[in-house]
């Protein structure tokens, strides 16, 4: 056992080392280069990344946003209460709150509990399937993100999570054949993880900075991730107590209900950002830009 946990930590350190080495080959952000006056360097990066035909348009958009927004170092936390920043702050906090209360960490941390409740005592193999499914979903998300759009992926993801939770509830609550109940529970859990991985997980972390202005992006992300970790902590703290009080089926039914609420929230509040630059998104959400363009 002593050897196993050490080996696990050694393996977990490998991605961090690879990422640190890979960052040595990353280029500076053209937006930052433009902000500090290094226009030639910014043009070179834009030309390499997006093509020479996009250089002039991108530089013009960068300079327009910088001129209107000012520096992010000059922004204040109270600006998050003002439009248009308050709208994005609300969306960011709500998205992360709904993401956590939809039960992802309850299902991920305690997935073996679901299988045990329907009579599957060996949780190692199902947990392995959960991890593989999560990875497969993330690969699909990387392909679908710019094909289907952020909003559509969020709606589809949360709808799939709701259906998955109700499948697990049926497997636990209904008087089904034992083998059918086992298979339905496994199917529901794996479908839940896959649905989360293609939308609710990656899109939530991507769309908030896309919607944020350059002036307040750091503060909005800081606030949103604070909400994320507080809700994460609450789910981890109270999940087992809730299961002990009410049982797995009612708790998972609650997760399914929150997932449906999240799909509705995405439908009514999320702005599609697919195929649009950060500057285009910011100008469309800020009335000051729109007024200046007329």
| Secondary structure of 225-275 as H, E, C letters | HHHHHHHHHHHHHHHHHHHHHHCHHHHHHHHHHHHHHHHHHHHHHCCCCCC
Residues 141 and 30 in one domain: no
Total-model pTM: 0.80
Query: pLDDT-based confidence at 98, cuts 50/70/90?
Result: very high
Higher pLDDT, 37 or 201: 201
Residues 185 and 249 in one domain: yes
The tokens 């949780």 sit on which residue? 123
What is the pLDDT averaged over residues 43-65? 81
Residues 240 and 156 in one domain: yes
Residue where a domain stops, chosen among 9, 40, 69: 69
Query: pLDDT-based confidence at 292, cuts 50/70/90?
Result: very low
Residue where a domain stops, chosen among 12, 41, 69: 69
Classify burial at 72, counting beta carbons within 10 Å of its beta carbon; exposed 0-12, middle 13-18, buried 19 or more: middle
Residues 228 and 93 in one domain: yes
Distance, CA of 226 to CA of 12 (rounded, Å): 24
Range of the domain at 21: 1-69
> CA-CA-CA-CA torsion for 192, 197, 202, 203, nearest 10 degrees?
-60
What pLDDT, in 10s, does the model give residues 184-218? 888 888 899 999 999 999 999 889 988 887 778 88
- Residue 84 maps to a domain: yes
- Residue 283 maps to a domain: no
């Amino acid at each position: 056992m002593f050897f196993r946990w050490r080996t696990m930590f050694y393996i977990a350190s490998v991605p961090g080392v690879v990422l640190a080495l890979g960052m040595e080959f990353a280029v500076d952000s053209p937006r930052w280069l433009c902000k500090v006056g290094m226009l030639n360097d910014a043009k070179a990066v834009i030309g390499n990344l997006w093509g020479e035909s996009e250089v002039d348009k991108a530089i013009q958009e960068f300079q327009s946003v910088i001129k209107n927004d000012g520096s992010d170092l000059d922004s204040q936390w109270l600006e998050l209460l003002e439009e248009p920043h308050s709208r994005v702050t609300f969306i960011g906090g709500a998205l992360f709150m709904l993401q956590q209360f939809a039960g992802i960490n309850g299902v991920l941390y305690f997935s073996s509990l679901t299988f045990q409740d329907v009579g599957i005592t060996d949780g190692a193999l199902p947990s392995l399937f959960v991890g593989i499914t999560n990875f497969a979903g993330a690969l699909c998300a990387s392909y679908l993100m710019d094909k289907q759009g952020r909003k559509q992926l969020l709606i589809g993801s949360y709808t799939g999570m709701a259906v998955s939770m109700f499948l697990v509830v049926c497997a636990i609550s209904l008087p089904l054949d034992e083998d059918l109940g086992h298979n339905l529970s496994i199917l529901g859990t794996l479908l839940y993880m896959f649905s989360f991985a293609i939308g609710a997980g990656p899109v939530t972390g991507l769309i908030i900075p896309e919607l944020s202005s350059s002036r307040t992006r750091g503060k909005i992300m800081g606030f949103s991730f604070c909400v994320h970790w507080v809700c994460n902590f609450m789910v981890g703290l109270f999940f087992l107590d809730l299961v002990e009080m009410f049982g797995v089926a009612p708790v998972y039914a609650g997760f399914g209900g929150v997932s449906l609420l999240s799909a509705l929230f995405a439908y009514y509040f999320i702005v599609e950002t697919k195929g649009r630059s950060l500057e285009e998104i910011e100008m469309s959400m800020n009335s000051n830009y729109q007024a200046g363009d007329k």
